[in-house]
Amino acid sequence: MTISATSVRFDEHTMWVELSDGRTLGVPLAWFPRLLHATSAEREQVELSRVGLHWEALDEDISIAGLLAGRGDITRSTEHAA
């Protein structure tokens, strides 16, 4: 069984993703800078697919598998102290 998103909503700090298995994920917007800095109208332009979420205008793709694994934006590099 593939778990997919059935809806997405936002509050000031969180993206809430309703899943097909009945769970709701609350994900900090800070994990996804493009969404954090987007307008409410831009965030609402989400496209749901079998495997994830897509925002064409923001060039943002988020997989449900990644959210379930606790991964944020993996396109950013993290800096480590030497």
Q: Hey, where are the domains in the chain?
A: 5-68
- Does residue 19 register a pLDDT over 60? yes
76 vs 79: CA distance, rounded Å: 10
- Does residue 32 register a pLDDT over 80? yes
Residue pLDDT, tens place only, 37-74: 999 999 999 999 999 999 999 999 999 999 999 888 76
- Does residue 78 register a pLDDT over 80? no
Superfamily of domain 5-68: Uncharacterised protein PF10387, DUF2442 (3.30.2020.40)
- Give me the pLDDT at residue 75, please: 64
pTM, rounded to two decimals: 0.85
Contacts of range 53-61, beta carbons closer than 8 Å, 24 or more positions apart? 53/5, 53/8, 53/17, 58/34, 59/34, 60/32, 60/34, 60/35
Percent of the chain with pLDDT over 90: 82
